Every structure is written in structure tokens, then in C-alpha cells.
Amino acid sequence: MTSLARTETAAHDRPDLSPSVAARQACRTGMAATTAGVANGFVQGNLAILPEKLASAFHRFCQLNPKPCPIIGMSDVGDPRIPALGLDLDIRTDLPRYRVWRDGELVDEPTDIMAHWRDDLVAFVIGCSYSFEEALLADGLPIRHIEQNIRVPMYRTNVACKPAGPFAGPMVVSMRPFKPADAIRAVQVTSRFPSVHGAPVHIGHPNSIGIADINKPDYGDAVPVGADELPVFWACGVTPQSVIAAAKVPFAITHSPGLMLVTDLLNKDLAVL
Amino acid sequence: MTSLARTETAAHDRPDLSPSVAARQACRTGMAATTAGVANGFVQGNLAILPEKLASAFHRFCQLNPKPCPIIGMSDVGDPRIPALGLDLDIRTDLPRYRVWRDGELVDEPTDIMAHWRDDLVAFVIGCSYSFEEALLADGLPIRHIEQNIRVPMYRTNVACKPAGPFAGPMVVSMRPFKPADAIRAVQVTSRFPSVHGAPVHIGHPNSIGIADINKPDYGDAVPVGADELPVFWACGVTPQSVIAAAKVPFAITHSPGLMLVTDLLNKDLAVL
């Protein structure tokens, strides 16, 4: 840990600290709020930590379901670092808040997981919609829940993920309403970012993916959909968390929804074209 | 005309004639039927011929409205050839059937325009949906009107084209119904082909672009839209013909709808990525 400690000290001394390094630094020293709007331009990620015994099945699950579960980084077994996402990154301390699961039950929501860390744990970082929302906003497309300063509405669908080992369950989607021409543009813009959920998975007919009432999301907050708008649905990074809870695995750790890992990757670098 | 005559003779002697050259050859010798399904893989085009006095305003109109009017070729003034679209191409003879317009009235529908040709005419060839339909089919997306062997339904919208000189009027769109996930894929596939109308201009709410009854197209044939489908609308090459008729210009020539110019360009080469 000597090198990590040295980085932290150096960081404190530098006012020109990168916003992503500063965000992780803040988490280490007690920041426990949403990371929405933090370190704009930098990729944020969903977190899933599993014992090695379950990690390969979960890795396969992500491989089979890349739209809800695009992996943007992984740790080695027992190693809390993921240098590809940040040289100083320590997955045990660098998120604002965590969720600790035992047998499918949420047992703790600590601000660090030093006390829960084990030598057999593997950390997965999964792409997040904040990245493609930045691209939508940069393109001039209005995002309703951001305008209203609430959470994006999310829904469990009747679309089954491809199962792997104990991991199975429905895809969770997030919804953003758009005027039709903007919906078409949103398909184009988000298609460039497959590692952060990519193009929408559905548009216009919530019933046909098992959403009974668009005004009653399963997670997040409801947003109004205008009569001249279409609800547009993207695969959501809540899916892996939902699947891990449903699998009732003996032990797992995830991030607290909306309180993500801030990485050193740049959103713009995720564009495939 | 010596070189054209020589090409024709050579073509007649060759059984391995390119399908596009063979199609134009057939037009020259009397073929007057739809070009749908002819010379698969080759780009077909809408035709608009105008006197030089009006051609620059029409060119500006196309420039201002690239989605309905993407120009894929132009002749020099008074020159019936467009070598970039086919070395042997003669715009006066190489379409199955033409429409001759005087003061906004359709006055003749000949199979060649030798008798109407003038030294001041300029020919515009405008991209056509056959090209992007080939890409949709190649991607496995079903196209209703092709399955039913009828014409695509087309509608005048309340979306005004940007005017230029005497040319003004509403955008005409074509409609293809898709299941939501296929509609998203259709946006991706057709976005690659901006020179043949590109991405859709509307999806899902026909009323908001001035279409009162989806079952009553202004041109072509009605196709059913399922309760779990979305009508997807593309800008249509009928727009320039509609605008030319509305402008009541003294003289113009267009193709007969569905009976297009077959060029030597390949649809696949129009993909921008």
C-alpha cells in the first residue's frame, strides 16, 4: 500500500488534481453522496464483487449479456486495485457507498469495505448510462430526469437475460422520453458507445417488454412522457445487481445505486466510431 | 454518339454483361416496367430534368433538403450523359418510362425523351430507397410491402422543405412498419447510407407530422401496422417530383414512379461506415 499512500499524499498537494482522481480521493475521505455530475467527462462504473468461486459464472453472465452488463474493468483475484481504470484506484475505499449482500440479503451499506475484503474476491466494473447521457446532452438532446433533477426511471422487463451458473433473471431497463426525431438521433448517438449499454433495446411499446405502467418504475423516479413523445429504453446496469440479489449467493458486494466508481477513462474514448 | 453506339453493340455481344448495363440496355430497347428487383446490388435513382434557368434553384433546393433529395449524379448542361453513373448511360433513353411536365401539368409519359431533349436541360439523379431496403433485407429485417409484393406507402407530411426559388412544399415520406427492436436496428442500418435518404425522419406518431390516416397513403399502397409495431418514416425521393409539379415550372421531366434509373454504382459503396 506504500505506493497508494504516496499517490494520495501527492494528490493532496496538487490543486490541478484530475477530477477523477479528486473524486476517488473524496470518497476515501468520507464523500458518500451521488456521483451524478461529478468529474464530468470521466467514465463512471457499476460495481460487482464476488468470491472467485462465483466470479467465473458471473463473468460468463456478463459475456452473454453485454447490453446490460458491459465490463469495463476487472481486478485480479484478491487484488483491490484496477490500474487500467486509475493507477491509484483502490476498490475497497474509492466508491461513496457500498452494499454488502449475504444469501441475497442486504446486510450492510458501508462507505468502505476494508472490513469485508477477502483474498478470494474479484471486482467487476460495469459501464453506466452516465457516459451515454453525456453524449446525448452534448448532442443537444434533452434528458427529462436530469432536467427535473430526479433519478432515471428503471423497470424490470419480461426479457430474460441469458443465464450462467446461478445468475439469471430479467433485464432491467432505464427509460428516457424523446420526441420521435430526437429518439432516432438518440439511437445514433448511443450506438457509438456499446461499452456503456449502447443503442436502446426498446422503443415505444412498454407493454410488449412487460412494463404494465410506465408511471410506476421499479427503481428510480417516474418522469412524464408527452403524447407526442416515445419512451426509449436502454439496458441498465442495475441488471447485474438485481441478478446477484436474486441468485442469493453467499456473499457479494455492489455499489449503492447512483453512487458509482469514478474512473480515469474518458467517456469520449469509449466511442467506437 | 459514336462511342455510345459502340458500347451498345459490344454489350449485345456479351452474355456476361453487367446487370446494370443490361438493365439500361433493356430500357433502350423497350423495357417499360418497374425496376424493383432489377440489377440487385446496383444503385437506382430518381430523375429530375430542368432547364438551366431553373436548375440552379433546384440544385439549391436539393442542397438544402438532403434527406428527401440526396443528389447522386448530375449532367452537364445539354449533355445527356452522366459518365460517373455509367459510361454508356444516356439519360434520354435509359429509364423505362418518363413523365414530361409543362406548367405543372403532366403532358406525356414516353419511354424515351429523345423528342423532348433540349440543349439547355440539366439532369439530376437523386438517391432512392431501394438502396437502403437492400441493406435492411441483408440485415434480416422484414420489409412489409416487399413481402406483400405491393408498393411502399408514401405520405405528404406537414414538414415543410426549405424553399429555394420556385421550389417549395412538404416533405414526402415512405413508411415501413417494424417491431421496436427492429426499428432501432433499422435506424442503425440506414444511418450508414445518407446518400439514399439515410436514417428515418420520424417514428411512431404519424399525427405529429400531419398524417391523418396511416391506412390512406397519398402515393403507393397501404400496409398493415401491427399493434406491437411502430411505423417508421423515411424521407422520400417522391418529394422533388411533388415539389416540381407544385412549382408549375414551364418545363420539366421526371421518371415515372417506381421506374428508376439503374446506375453502375454499388449500393454497398454508398455506406459511409
Residue pLDDT, tens place only, B49-58: 999 999 999 9
| B12, pLDDT greater than 80 | no
- Give the pLDDT score at B13: 52
How far, in Å, CA of B94 to CA of B73, rounded? 15
- Give the pLDDT score at B6: 40
User: B65 and B48, same structural domain?
Assistant: yes
How far, in Å, CA of A152 to CA of A206, rounded? 16
| B189, pLDDT greater than 80 | yes
Average pLDDT, chain A: 94
Q: Cβ separation of B180 and A191 shorter than 8 Å? A: no
User: B59 and B19, same structural domain?
Assistant: yes
| Number of domains composing chain B | 2
CATH classification of the domain holding B164: 3.30.2040.10
| A207, pLDDT greater than 80 | yes
For A17-64, the pLDDT digits (tens) are: 899 999 999 999 999 999 999 999 999 999 999 999 999 999 999 999
- A158, A185, A197, A205: best mutation site toward chain B, by most B Cβ within 10 Å? A205
User: A152 and A212, same structural domain?
Assistant: yes
Q: Cβ separation of B201 and A188 shorter than 8 Å? A: no
Q: Cβ separation of B204 and A273 shorter than 8 Å? A: no
User: A21 and A112, same structural domain?
Assistant: yes
Count of CB pairs separated by less than 8 Å, A with B: 54
| A235, pLDDT greater than 70 | yes
Cα-flanking dihedrals φ and ψ of residue A101, to 5°?
A: -115, 135
Q: Cβ separation of B188 and A184 shorter than 8 Å? A: no
Q: Cβ separation of B202 and A187 shorter than 8 Å? A: no
Burial B229-255 (b: 16+ CB within 10 A, else e): bbbbbbbbbbbbbbbbbebebebbbbb
- Give the pLDDT score at A4: 41
For B95-117, the pLDDT digits (tens) are: 999 999 999 999 999 999 999 99
Task: Please indicate, yes or no, if residue A121 is contained in any of the structural domains.
Answer: yes
Q: Taking an 8 Å Cβ-Cβ cutoff, which residues of chain A contact chain B? A: 180-181, 183-184, 187-188, 191, 199-205, 208, 228, 230, 273
- Residues of chain A with Cβ-Cβ distance to B205 below 8 Å are 180, 228, 230
Taking residue B221's Cβ as centre, other Cβ atoms within 10 Å add up to 13
User: A216 and A108, same structural domain?
Assistant: no
| A152, pLDDT greater than 70 | yes
Task: Please indicate, yes or no, if residue A34 is contained in any of the structural domains.
Answer: no
User: B145 and B120, same structural domain?
Assistant: no
Task: Please indicate, yes or no, if residue B13 is contained in any of the structural domains.
Answer: yes
| A14, pLDDT greater than 50 | yes
Task: Please indicate, yes or no, if residue A273 is contained in any of the structural domains.
Answer: no
Task: Please indicate, yes or no, if residue B156 is contained in any of the structural domains.
Answer: yes
- Residues of chain A with Cβ-Cβ distance to B200 below 8 Å are 184
User: A167 and A206, same structural domain?
Assistant: yes
Average pLDDT of the residues in A188-201: 97
| B3, pLDDT greater than 90 | no
- Give the pLDDT score at B15: 62
How far, in Å, CA of B108 to CA of B117, rounded? 13
Task: Please indicate, yes or no, if residue A271 is contained in any of the structural domains.
Answer: no
- Residues of chain A with Cβ-Cβ distance to B187 below 8 Å are 184, 187-188
Which residues is B42 bridged to in the sheet? B266
Cα-flanking dihedrals φ and ψ of residue B263, to 5°?
A: -105, 170
User: A96 and A170, same structural domain?
Assistant: no
User: B216 and B150, same structural domain?
Assistant: yes
- Give the pLDDT score at A8: 43
Q: How far is CA A177 from CA A224, A231, B137, B151, B197, in A?
A: 8, 4, 29, 33, 25
User: B190 and B103, same structural domain?
Assistant: no
| Nearest beta carbon to residue B202 from set A181, A199, A203 | A181
Q: Check residues A12 and B102 and name the one with the higher pLDDT.
A: B102
Task: Please indicate, yes or no, if residue B270 is contained in any of the structural domains.
Answer: no
| Nearest beta carbon to residue A184 from set B181, B187, B228 | B187
| A163, pLDDT greater than 70 | yes
CATH classification of the domain holding A118: 3.40.1640.10
Entry pTM: 0.89
Nearest residue of B to residue A183, measured between CA atoms: B203
User: B39 and B24, same structural domain?
Assistant: yes
How far, in Å, CA of A230 to CA of A92, rounded? 40
Task: Please indicate, yes or no, if residue A110 is contained in any of the structural domains.
Answer: yes
- Give the pLDDT score at B123: 98
User: B149 and B94, same structural domain?
Assistant: no
| B180, pLDDT greater than 90 | yes
Average pLDDT of the residues in A100-110: 96
DSSP chain A: -HHHHHHHHHHHH-TT--HHHHHHHHHHTT--S--TTSSTTEEEEEEEEEEHHHHHHHHHHHHH-TTT--EEEEPPTT----GGG-TT--TTTSSS-EEEEETTEEEE--S--TTT--TTEEEEEEE-HHHHHHHHHHTT---HHHHTTSPPPEEEEEEEPPPBTTB--EEEEEEEEE-HHHHHHHHHHHHT-GGGT-S-SEES-GGGGT-S-TTS-SBS------TT-EEEEEE-THHHHHHHHHHT-S-EEEEBTTBPEEEEEEGGGG---
- Residues of chain B with Cβ-Cβ distance to A181 below 8 Å are 201-202
Residue span of the structural domain in which A190 resides: 130-238
